[in-house]
Chain A
Amino acid sequence: MKTFEADVVIIGGGSAGMAAAIEVKNAGLDALIIERDYELGGILLQCIHVGFGLHEFGEELTGPQYAQKFINQVNELEIPYLLDTMVIEFTPDKTVYAVNNKEGLIKVESKAIILAMGCRERTRGAINIPGFRPAGIFTAGQAQRFVNMEGYLPGKSLVILGSGDIGMIMARRLTWEGCEVKAVIEINPYVSGLIRNQVQCLEDFNIPLILGYTVTKIHGKEKIRGVTISKVDTNFDRIVGSDRFIECDALLLSVGLIPENELTLKAGAKLSSNNGPIVDNNLESTIEGVFACGNVLQVHDLVDMVTAEAKRAGEFAIEYINQRYGKEIKREKQIKCVPGENVGYIKPDLVNVLDLSKEIMFTLRVKYPDRRIQIQFRDKENNQLVYKRNKVYVIPSEMVEIKLNLKENQIDPGCQHLIIDVVPRPEVLIEEE
Chain B
Amino acid sequence: MIYDVIIIGGGVIGCCIARTLSKYDLKIALLEKEADISMGTTKANSGVVHAGYAADRQYIKRHLSIHGNKLYTQAYRELNFPFQRIGSFVVAVEDSQIKDLEDERKKGIQDGVPNLELIFDKKRIKHMEPSLTDDVVAVLHAPTAGLVSPYELTFALAENAAMNGVKFFRSHEVVKIKHTDYTFSVRTLRDEFKCRNLINAAGLYAANISKMLGLDYFDIMPRKGEYILFDRNAMHLNKILFPIPTVVSKGILVCPTLHGNTFVGPNAQNITDTEDTSTTEAGLKEILEGAKKLVPNLPLRASIRNFAGLRAVPNTHDFIIDNTDVYGFINVAGILSPGLTSCFAIAEKVEEFLELLGVVMKVKEDYNPIRPRPERFKDLSKKELDKKIQEDASWGKIICRCEVIPEKEILDAIHAPVGARTVDGVKFRCRPGMGRCAGGFCRPRVIEILSRELNLSYEEVTKKGEDTNYLICHTKDLLLNEINKGEEAE
Note whether A and B form a binding pair.
Answer: yes
Interface set of A (CB-CB < 8 Å, partner B): 1, 36, 84, 86, 88, 97, 99-105, 120-121, 123-126, 128, 130-136, 138-139, 141-142, 145-147, 149-156, 177-179, 216-218, 221-223, 238, 249, 262
Q: Is B330 at the interface (CB under 8 A from chain A)?
A: no
Instruction: Encode contact with A along B140-173: 1 for CB under 8 Å, 0 otherwise.
Output: 0000000000000000000000000000000000
- Which residues of chain A come closer than 8 Å to B458, judged between CB atoms? 150, 152
Q: How large is the interface on B (under 10, 10 to 19, 20 to 34, 35 or more residues)?
A: 35 or more
Which of B306, B474, B481 has the most CB atoms of chain A within a 10 A radius of its CB? Answer: B306
| B476 CB–A CB distance under 8 Å | yes
Known: A154-B470, A154-B471, A249-B472. A131 touches B386 (CB 8 A): no
Contacts A102-B396, A131-B279 known; A152 to B475 CB distance under 8 Å? yes
Q: A139-B440, A179-B478 are in contact. Are A86 and B470 (CB under 8 A)?
A: no
Contact B397 A100 (CB under 8 A): yes
B278 beta carbon closer than 8 Å to chain A: yes
A-B contact pairs, 19 of them (CB 8 A): A1-B383, A36-B398, A84-B397, A88-B398, A101-B393, A101-B407, A103-B396, A105-B382, A123-B437, A132-B277, A138-B470, A142-B444, A152-B472, A152-B475, A153-B473, A177-B479, A222-B464, A223-B467, A249-B472
Q: Are B303 and A128 in contact (CB under 8 A)?
A: yes
Name the distance in Å between A149's Cβ and chain B's nearest Cβ.
8
A84 to B393, CA, bound (A): 12
Within the complex, the shortest CB–CB distance from A91 to chain B, in Å, comes to: 12
Q: Determine whether the beta carbon of A126 is less than 8 Å from that of B482.
A: no
A-B complex: 8 closest residue pairs judged by Cβ atoms: A178-B478, A125-B305, A101-B396, A104-B389, A101-B393, A105-B386, A135-B463, A86-B398
Centre residue among B228, B401, B474 by max chain A CB count within 10 A = B401
Stretch at the interface among B65-73, B280-288, B315-323, B344-352: B280-288
A150–B305 touching, CB < 8 Å: no
The residues of B that contact A84 with a CB separation of less than 8 Å are 397
Residues 414 to 471 of chain B near chain A (Cβ within 8 Å): 436-441, 443-444, 458-459, 462-471
- A123 / chain B contacts, CB cutoff of 8 Å: 304-305, 436-438, 440
Find out whether the CB atom of B471 lies under 8 angstroms from the CB atom of A125: no
Q: Are A101 and B389 in contact (CB under 8 A)?
A: yes
Complex: how many Å from CA A218 to CA B385? 42
Q: How far is the CB of B448 from chain A (nearest CB, A)?
A: 8
Chain A residues with CB under 8 Å of B463's CB are 134-135
User: Which of B275, B304, B441, B479 is most buried by chain A, counting CB atoms within 10 A of its CB?
Assistant: B441
Cβ-neighbour of B279 out of A88, A104, A130, A149 (below 8 A): A130
Select from chain B the residue with minimum beta-carbon distance to A216: B281
Report the minimum CB–CB distance from A10 to chain B (whole Å): 17
Select from chain A the residue with minimum beta-carbon distance to B480: A178
Q: State in angstroms the CA–CA spacing of A258 and B278 once bound together.
A: 27
Q: Is chain A's binding surface mostly helix, strand, loop or mixed?
A: mixed
Known: A130-B280, A132-B277, A142-B444. A101 touches B474 (CB 8 A): no
The distance in angstroms between the C-alpha atoms of A153 and B459, with both chains bound, is: 9
B459 (CB) vs chain A CBs: closest residue: A152
Q: Which of B305, B407, B482 has its CB near the most chain A CB atoms (within 10 A)?
A: B305
> Given A104-B390, A124-B438 in contact, is the A178-B284 Cβ separation under 8 Å?
no
Contact B277 A125 (CB under 8 A): no
User: Chain A contacts of B386 at CB under 8 A?
Assistant: 1, 104-105
Tell which of A1, A136, A142, A216 touches B440, judged by Cβ atoms closer than 8 Å: A142
User: CA–CA, A145 to B470, complex, Å?
Assistant: 13
CA distance A221 to B468 in the complex (A): 9
- Which residues between 267 and 311 of chain B lie within 8 Å of chain A, taking CB atoms? 275-281, 283-284, 303-307
Report the Cα distance A134→B462, complex, angstroms.
Answer: 11
Q: Evaluate contact between B468 and A177: CB separation under 8 angstroms.
A: no
Nearest-Cβ distance from residue A162 to partner chain B, whole angstroms: 14
Is residue B84 within 8 Å, beta carbon to beta carbon, of the partner chain? no
In the bound complex, CA of A121 to CA of B444 (Å)? 15
Contacts of A134 in B (CB 8 A): 463, 468
Smallest beta-carbon distance B240→chain A, Å: 22
Contact A125 B393, beta carbon cutoff 8 Å: no
Residues of B within 8 A of A104 (CB): 385-386, 389-390, 396
Shortest distance between the CB of A230 and any CB in chain B (Å) = 9
A133 with B389: CB separation less than 8 A: no
A156 near B396 (CB under 8 angstroms)?
Answer: no
B382: chain A residues at CB < 8 Å are 1, 97, 105
Given the contacts A104-B390, A130-B279, A222-B468, A152 and B473 also touching, CB distance less than 8 Å: yes
Report how far A14 CA is from B283 CA in the complex, Å: 42
B229 within 8 A of A: yes
B402 partner, pick from A135, A178, A262, beta carbons under 8 A: A262
Instruction: Indicate if B490 sits at the interface (CB-CB under 8 A).
Output: no
Whether B278 pairs with A153 at a CB distance below 8 angstroms is: no
**Quick one: closest B residue to A84, CB to CB?**
B397
B395 at interface, CB cutoff 8 A: yes
Q: Which residues of B contact A179 (CB under 8 A)?
A: 478
By a CB distance below 8 angstroms, the chain A residues around B438 are 123-125, 139
User: B212 to chain A: which residues have CB within 8 Å?
Assistant: none
B277 and A133 contacting across the interface, CB-CB below 8 Å: yes
B136 within 8 A of A: no
Beta-carbon contact of A133 and B307 below 8 Å: yes
Residue pair A152, B303 in contact (C-beta under 8 Å): no
Q: Are A146 and B478 in contact (CB under 8 A)?
A: no
Residues of B within 8 A of A141 (CB): 440
- Chain B: minimal CB distance from A227 (Å): 12
On chain B, the residues within 8 Å of A223 by CB distance are 467-469
| Cβ–Cβ contact A156 & B472, under 8 A | yes
Q: Which residues of B contact A155 (CB under 8 A)?
A: 472
CB of B168, distance to nearest CB on chain A (Å) = 22
* B205 vs chain A, min Cβ distance (A): 15
Do A142 and B478 form a contact, CB below 8 Å, given A101-B393, A221-B277? no
Q: Name the residue of chain B whose CB is nearest to the CB of A221.
A: B275
Q: Name the residue in A147, A153, A155 with the highest tally of chain B Cβ atoms < 10 Å from its Cβ.
A: A153
CB distance from B410 to the nearest CB of A (A): 13
Cα–Cα, bound, A1→B386 (Å): 6
Cross-chain contact of A105 among B229, B389, B477 (Cβ < 8 A): B389
| A residues less than 8 Å from B470 (CB atoms) | 135-136, 138, 146, 154
Which chain A residue lies CB-closest to B408?
Answer: A101
Contact B475 A147, beta carbon cutoff 8 Å: yes
Chain B residue nearest in CB terms to A142: B440
* Extra 4 A-B pairs, beta carbons < 8 Å, given A86-B398, A146-B471, A217-B281: A86-B404, A101-B395, A123-B440, A130-B306
User: Which of A125, A146, A154, A238 has the most B CB atoms < 10 Å from its CB?
Assistant: A125
A86 touches B471 (CB 8 A): no
Q: How far is the CA of A155 from the CA of B476 in the complex (A)?
A: 12
Query: Is the C-beta of B394 less than 8 angstroms from some C-beta in chain A?
Result: yes
Are B394 and A101 in touch, CB under 8 angstroms? yes
Closest B residue by C-beta to A124? B438
A126 engages B440 (CB within 8 Å) = no
Inter-chain CA distance A130–B305, complex, in Å, is 10
